[in-house]
Amino acid sequence: MNHPAPERPADVVARLRATFRTGRTKPVEWRTGQLRRLRALLTENGSDLEAALHADLGKSAAEAQRTEIGFTVREIDHTLDQLADWLRPEPAPVPAHLGADATAWTQYDPLGVVLVIAPWNYPAQLLLAPVVGALAAGNAVVAKPSELAPATSAALARLLPRYLDTDAVAVVEGGVPETTALLAERFDHIFYTGNGTVGRIVMRAAAEHLTPVTLELGGKSPAFVDRDADLDTVAARLVAGKFLNAGQTCVAPDYVLTDPETAAALEPALVRAVEAQYGTDPARSTEYARIVNERHFDRLTGLLDSGRVVVGGGSDRSRKYLAPTVLADVAPDAPVMREEIFGPILPIVTVPGLDEAIDFVNDRDKPLALYVFSESDGTRERFAAETSSGGLGHGLPLAHLTVSDLPFGGVGESGMGNYHGRYSIETFSHRKAVLKKPLG
């Protein structure tokens, strides 16, 4: 079969820019229309997308719905519900020297043509949720899915043009060469989700055109467990948050930080929690995902001797299966503590107490998320006041990113800028200052 040659990146951007210049993407009706079409794509093609996510990452249908398809539908519904309100111009008080007849306000202007670059771990959600924001803000969008989730990338490249306005939304598939070519073009905003090394490449390319960037990066998100915490509850929530998508979640608790006595009591609680969640043989659980590829599988199994195996440790390269694994007696400088784990290995690192735990966090890069399991207001307040992280979760990992009215993003090495809900409108718009003074 003869496929037409893919459109060159420069032509894609020129075509979308021409559409933007006509003003077609600006009326709120166009925006809500596109969001409804995207919603229809997700609800009408749920089983195709579930199959693609299963092929790429072994995600169960339930998990695909909860963390990717349904997640994006909820983001769309929230946006449809609130958009008119978010877009309302905001009056600003006018100083007396301009006279009583002067008025001032801010209004949101769309930026133009936006590039969204997504990673492989939540390959549908992390492409589409930024696209929701970019469309809601009235932009044209180039969407670049991750080549490391090829089935999902292909499904989205096939479906998006069938549902959305192809003069304003384009999907460009591919890896480094294709993304490099895209990055040479001038965009009005680049929204990148992935690792910090590529984040730097993106930002350098953006600097050539003075294009603003949002960088949604990762890092090691700590989970502090206080000695007063109910350890069975803590273990169940840690296991649910850590081993979702086989640990390949940017806001997964990366490691546990606690004192030695609590660590000793937490170990058996974690063993019980893993068994309760995935059974005695997680390889047979349909709810447990697989590692994305052999390269990451080899990287992860290379980290297994960083400590004593409390539970898990088993693996099968041919199936890219790595058991939910907890490691104890892990030294702060062990290999597993030197980089973001991004897989189903949960090390427990001990510190004498709260002061040292706070120092431990502050001695390292600012994390994307920080989790605190404590019954003490004082402890919670100290973490809130004395540490910096993209988000802070008391008692429950991951969940803050499902609150549509909270901004989601990192700080420092974990990224810059944020999105979700109205924060996506802020990200993908220019807030224009307007002053009006009558001539008469």
Q: Closer CB to ligand NAD, residue 307 or residue 410?
A: 410
Shortest separation between residue 142's beta carbon and ligand NAD, angstroms:
12
Catalytic-role residue among 63, 75, 185, 216: 216
Shortest separation between residue 433's beta carbon and ligand NAD, angstroms:
30
Report d(CA 233, CA 404) in Å as an integer.
Answer: 25
Q: What is the DSSP string of 179-243?
A: HHHHHTS--SEEEEES-HHHHHHHHHHHHHTT--EEEE-----EEEE-TTS-HHHHHHHHHHHHH
Q: Closer CB to ligand NAD, residue 51 or residue 201?
A: 201
Give the position of tokens 């499904």: 155
3-state secondary structure of 370: strand
Q: Closer CB to ligand NAD, residue 79 or residue 121?
A: 121
Q: Closer CB to ligand NAD, residue 76 or residue 126?
A: 126
Q: Closer CB to ligand NAD, residue 163 or residue 191?
A: 191
Give the position of tokens 């680049």: 190
Q: If binding is defined by CB under 6 A, does position 201 make contact with ligand NAD? A: yes
Which range, of 62-70, 80-88, 116-124, 313-321, touches ligand NAD by CB under 6 A? Answer: 116-124
* Given 73, 250, 269, 369, the residue binding ligand NAD (CB under 6 A): 250
Residue 233 tokens, joined: 């509850």
What are the residues whose beta carbons fall under 8 Å from the beta carbon of 401, sequence distance 6 or more?
Answer: 251, 391, 408, 420
Q: Which 263-322 residues touch ligand NAD, going by CB under 6 A?
A: none
What are the CA-CA distances from residue 62 to residues 2, 118, 253, 389 (Å)?
37, 22, 22, 30
Report d(CA 37, CA 34) in Å as an integer.
Answer: 5
Whether 216 sits among the annotated catalytic residues: the reply is: yes
Shortest separation between residue 294's beta carbon and ligand NAD, angstroms:
14
Report d(CA 149, CA 118) in Å as an integer.
Answer: 10
Q: If binding is defined by CB under 6 A, does position 403 make contact with ligand NAD? A: no
Q: Closer CB to ligand NAD, residue 58 or residue 138?
A: 58
Q: If binding is defined by CB under 6 A, does position 218 make contact with ligand NAD? A: yes
Binding residues with ligand NAD: total (CB under 6 A): 28
Q: If binding is defined by CB under 6 A, does position 131 make contact with ligand NAD? A: no
* Given 119, 130, 391, 417, the residue binding ligand NAD (CB under 6 A): 119
* Given 120, 224, 255, 423, the residue binding ligand NAD (CB under 6 A): 120
Residue 254 tokens, joined: 């990366």
Q: What is the DSSP string of 85-118?
A: HHHS-EEE---GGG-TT-EEEEEEEE-SEEEEE-
Shortest separation between residue 15's beta carbon and ligand NAD, angstroms:
21
Catalytic-role residue among 68, 250, 340, 426: 250
Whether 250 sits among the annotated catalytic residues: the reply is: yes
What are the residues whose beta carbons fall under 8 Å from the beta carbon of 339, sequence distance 6 or more?
Answer: 220
* Given 50, 226, 340, 365, the residue binding ligand NAD (CB under 6 A): 340
Q: Closer CB to ligand NAD, residue 7 or residue 81?
A: 7
Shortest separation between residue 150's beta carbon and ligand NAD, angstroms:
11
Q: Closer CB to ligand NAD, residue 132 or residue 148?
A: 148
Q: CB–CB of 69/60 below 8 Å?
A: no
What are the residues whose beta carbons fall under 8 Å from the beta carbon of 383, sequence distance 6 or more?
Answer: 224, 358, 361, 370, 372, 392
Q: CB–CB of 352/213 below 8 Å?
A: no
Extended beta strands in 244-333, E state = 255-258, 308-311, 315-316, 321-322, 325-328
Residue 41 tokens, joined: 């794509």
Q: Which 139-198 residues touch ligand NAD, going by CB under 6 A?
A: 144, 146-148, 175-176, 179-180, 193-195, 198
Residue nearest to ligand NAD (CB): 218
* Given 133, 415, 417, 421, the residue binding ligand NAD (CB under 6 A): 415
Report d(CA 46, CA 271) in Å as an integer.
Answer: 34
Which range, of 15-23, 211-219, 259-267, 317-325, touches ligand NAD by CB under 6 A? Answer: 211-219
Residue type present at position 46: G
Tell which residue, 261, 346, 260, 351, has the closest CA to residue 308.
Answer: 346
Shortest separation between residue 350's beta carbon and ligand NAD, angstroms:
25
The residues annotated as belonging to the active site are 216, 250
Binding site for ligand NAD (CB under 6 A): 117-121, 126, 144, 146-148, 175-176, 179-180, 193-195, 198, 201, 216-218, 250, 340, 342, 368, 410, 415
